[in-house]
């Protein structure tokens, strides 16, 4: 069975500092991995995805994530935090299970950006 | 703008009342989904529809029913609301979620008192 673990339900960074949000997954088959962002009172928006190919994936708003199979990780990073990055971030894993493409979401990490 | 539209945005129900949450997408997506979001629990799948004319249970289907009315519309019905169904409900759609991910609606915040 697939699962996703996001380390840290809350992360605080200073404006301009590195953002690192951690995600580890388990999957019995090669996974597809996603990061979504949720701004207050809004739905989730796809930030980036890994399907196959290059393990460093670039997304919107300057975010990127690296798929590391040996570490079963897909951490999200951004070199310099901006106030507008304050939101909740969800990691998700998808694989084929009994003919249905099952997507499992992590419990989310709230990012606070301190001026 | 193209996307997923959910109605209503907010709703308060009394225990035992029924209601239907509406969802429509205009992206010609094949698959549609209903999730609920609760603090500290991420998103949990209630029901999904892989294509027009089909529906299947997700992780937490008890107390809910769905209808895929046509390719655009996928509704979620609570027949007899319970306080445990207080949550934020999201509808999503996709061409194929593994490759493309989901497009989400803006959510319905439901309180059952």
Question: Are B98 and A32 a contacting pair at CB < 8 A?
Answer: yes
A90 vs B contacts (CB less than 8 Å): 42-43
A44/A38 Cα distance (integer angstroms) = 5
Question: Which residues does chain B have within 8 Å of residue A36's beta carbon, measured at their own beta carbons?
Answer: 101-102, 104
pLDDT in tens, chain B (113 residues): 679 999 999 999 999 999 999 999 999 999 999 999 998 888 999 999 988 989 999 989 999 999 999 999 999 999 999 999 999 999 999 987 777 789 999 999 999 99
Q: pLDDT of A4-31, one tens digit each?
A: 999 999 999 999 999 999 999 987 777 8
Kindly identify which residue of chain B lies nearest to residue A90, measuring between CA atoms: B42
Contacts of A107 in chain B (CB under 8 A): 40-42
| Residues forming beta bridges with residue B74, ordered by sequence position | B68
Q: What is the DSSP string of B4-56?
A: EEEE-SEEEE-TT--EEEEEEE-S--SEEEEEEE-TTS-EEEEEEESSTT--E
**Is A41:A23 a contact under the CB 8 Å cutoff?**
no
Max distance between CA atoms of chain B, in angstroms, equals: 40
| Cβ atoms within 10 Å, residue A111 | 20
Tell whether the model's pLDDT for residue A101 goes beyond 80.
no
3-state secondary structure chain A: CCEEEEECCEEEEECCCCEEEEEEEECCCCCEEEEEEECCCCCEEEEEEECCCCCEEECHHHCEEEEEHHHCEEEEEECCCCHHHCEEEEEEEEEEECCEEEEEECCCEEEEEEC
Q: DSSP secondary-structure letter at B84?
A: G
What gap in Å lies between CA A40 and CA A88, rounded to an integer?
Answer: 8
């Amino acid at each position: 069975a697939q699962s996703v673990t996001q380390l840290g339900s809350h992360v605080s960074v200073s404006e301009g500092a590195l953002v690192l949000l951690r995600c580890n997954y388990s999957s019995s088959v090669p996974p597809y991995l996603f990061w979504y962002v949720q701004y207050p009172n809004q739905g989730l928006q796809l930030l980036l995805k890994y399907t196959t190919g290059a393990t460093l994936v670039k997304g919107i708003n300057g975010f990127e994530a690296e798929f590391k199979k040996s570490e079963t990780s897909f951490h999200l990073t951004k070199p310099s935090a901006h106030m507008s990055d304050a939101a909740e971030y969800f990691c998700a894993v998808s694989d084929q299970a009994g003919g249905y493409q099952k997507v499992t979401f992590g419990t989310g990490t709230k990012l606070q950006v301190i001026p | 703008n193209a996307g997923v539209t959910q109605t209503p945005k907010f709703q308060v129900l009394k225990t035992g009342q029924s209601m239907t949450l509406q969802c429509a997408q205009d992206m010609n997506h094949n698959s549609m989904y209903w999730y609920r979001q609760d603090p500290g629990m991420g998103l949990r799948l209630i029901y999904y529809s892989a294509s027009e004319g089909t529906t299947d249970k997700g992780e937490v289907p008890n107390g809910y029913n769905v209808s895929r009315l046509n390719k655009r519309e996928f509704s979620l019905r609570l027949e007899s609301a319970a306080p445990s169904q207080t949550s934020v409900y999201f509808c999503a759609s996709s061409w194929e979620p593994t490759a493309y991910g989901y497009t989400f609606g803006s959510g319905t915040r439901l309180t059952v008192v």
